């Protein structure tokens, strides 16, 4: 897409700090890191969200994601890391080109990803599970 910032990065039309690149996937430093070393792993083709990515490309992206996660662990001697991925503005997605965050972590680093958990009423979890199961069955896999 012409105006998409991640498409433009993938085409090297705007500067970015690339740490890995192949024909299908690019990984570059996030310019507003949650923690220093925060990386984005992005399929080069424009797909808005996880729902839209063809499974073979998603598999390629996942392989790069794992390699970059190992690279962050080794290169930064990270004690841990989070992989985050947001779909839709309700979930906090800002850039409308599917991407995976890799955020290096250290014990006690103060990054807040904690949430107060909700509590199910009796049988409510089973009802949610049934609806999701139905949803999954109605979706076909394109793997």
Toward Zn ion, which CB reaches closer, 20 or 47? Answer: 47
Active-site option among 12, 38, 46, 99 = 99
Which sign does the torsion angle of CA 91, 94, 95, 96 carry?
Answer: positive
Applying CB under 6 A, which part among 28-36, 53-61, 114-122, 135-143 lies near ligand AMP? 28-36
139: left (phi over 0), alpha (psi -120 to 50) or beta: beta
Are the CB atoms for 6 and 95 separated by under 8 Å?
yes
CA 18 to chain centre: 16
Active site residue 99: yes
Toward ligand AMP, which CB reaches closer, 13 or 124? Answer: 13
Toward ligand AMP, which CB reaches closer, 92 or 135? Answer: 92
Q: In the bound complex, what is the minimum distance in angstroms from residue 100's beta carbon to ligand AMP?
A: 9
Which residues of the shown chain bind Zn ion in the complex (CB under 5 A)? Answer: 1, 4, 6-7, 46, 97
Task: Choose the contact partner of 15 out of ligand AMP, Zn ion, none; CB within 5 to 8 A by kind.
Answer: none
Task: Choose the contact partner of 46 out of ligand AMP, Zn ion, none; CB within 5 to 8 A by kind.
Answer: Zn ion
Toward ligand AMP, which CB reaches closer, 82 or 86? Answer: 86
Distance CA 59, CA 49 (A): 15
Q: Which of 16, 26, 39, 64 binds ligand AMP (CB under 6 A)?
A: 16
Catalytic residues: 99
């Amino acid at each position: 897409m012409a105006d998409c910032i991640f498409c433009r990065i993938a085409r090297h039309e705007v500067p970015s700090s690339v740490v890995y690149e192949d024909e299908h996937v690019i990984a570059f430093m996030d310019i507003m890191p949650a923690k220093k070393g925060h990386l984005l792993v992005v399929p080069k083709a424009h797909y808005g969200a996880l729902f839209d990515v063809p499974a073979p490309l998603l598999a390629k992206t996942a392989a790069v994601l794992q390699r970059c996660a190992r690279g962050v662990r080794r290169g930064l001697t990270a004690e841990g890391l989070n992989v985050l991925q947001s779909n839709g503005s309700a979930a906090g997605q800002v850039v409308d080109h599917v991407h995976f965050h890799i955020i290096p972590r250290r014990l006690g680093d103060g990054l807040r990803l904690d949430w107060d958990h909700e509590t199910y009423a009796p049988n409510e979890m089973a009802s949610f599970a049934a609806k999701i199961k139905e949803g999954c069955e109605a979706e076909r896999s394109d793997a």
